[in-house]
Amino acid sequence: MIFETERLIVRRLIINDLRTFHELESAPKVLKYVEGVLKSYQDNRK
């Protein structure tokens, strides 16, 4: 765990997070508000 508040736990990503992480990283509505480019599933796995 990196840090925790009353309502939030921030931890390092694990391989089981990959599918959900990729969905966020490849969503145009998300990328509209952050810097970055669309990545393939394999690129996000690195």
Q: Which residue has the higher pLDDT, 2 or 24?
A: 2
Share the mean pLDDT of the chain: 89
Evaluate whether residue 33 is within a structural domain.
yes
Say if 4 falls within a structural domain. no
pLDDT for the residue 14:
94
**Confidence bin at 4 (pLDDT 50/70/90):** very high
Give residue 1's pLDDT: 84
Residue 27 lies in a domain: yes
Q: Report how far apart, in Å, the C-alpha atoms of 15 and of each of 9, 31, 35, 40 are.
A: 17, 22, 23, 16
The three-class DSSP label of residue 35 is coil
Inside any domain, residue 2:
no
Interacting residues of 1 by C-beta distance below 8 A, sequence separation 6+: 9, 10, 11
Q: What is the mean pLDDT of residues 5-30?
A: 92
Number of domains in the chain: 1
Instruction: Specify if 37 maps to a domain.
Output: yes
* Range of the structural domain that residue 37 is part of: 14-45
Q: What percent of the chain has pLDDT over 70?
A: 100
C-alpha span between 10 and 19 (Å, rounded): 18
Structural element, H or E, at residue 42: helix 41-45
Q: What pLDDT score does 25 carry?
A: 85
